[in-house]
Amino acid sequence: MTVIRMGKTIALVSATALLLAACSKKEQVGAQVEEQQVQQERVKTAAELEIEQWGHPTAEGLAYYAGADRVFFAYDSSELSGEARMTLDKQAQWLGHYGQVSVTIEGHCDERGTREYNLALGDRRAQAVVNYLAAQGVSADRLKSISYGKERPAVVGNGESAWGQNRRGVLAVD
């Protein structure tokens, strides 16, 4: 009987040792998984902070960061105002942060003037924006321009309030 008892004791001690070893590995694996989750949360937090500061690399993100996706022009002018330059400075910073993003600058006019004249004026407005952004360090190969003249009004109607909203340069994220 002693041999049987000794065999049971050995079996019991062996089973206990195996159980303890298995628990130790589970704790180590559990600790590793927990550490990976903490690291992933840190990465998420950094990505979320970037989005909070810069916005997404989309048209909405550009407007969020810069305050607008467009600048406005005076009647019959392609000259950038001080306010337009401030907006374009912020847009240039955003484009600098998102170096892979390309944009098309759309030149628009109000309804006054001929179609041909407004297409040419819209082109000058778009080029003024392109030139300013390029001067701020945005690579020219990321900037395209197009003129819509008076064909795509933002606001339909007569009067300075409508016309003023239609005389614009818009950055459209490609």
- With a cut of 70, say whether residue 12 has pLDDT above it: no
For 40-98, the pLDDT digits (tens) are 666 767 777 777 878 888 999 999 999 999 999 999 999 999 999 999 999 999 999 99
Mean pLDDT of 119-131: 98
pLDDT at 47: 73
Residue 15 identity = A
Place of tokens 């049987």: 4
pTM assigned to the model: 0.72
Cβ burial of 56 (10 Å; 0-12, 13-18, 19+) is middle
Residue 23 confidence (pLDDT)? 56
Q: What percent of the chain has pLDDT over 70?
A: 78
From residue 112, give the alpha-carbon distance in Å to each of 30, 125, 127, 163.
71, 16, 21, 9
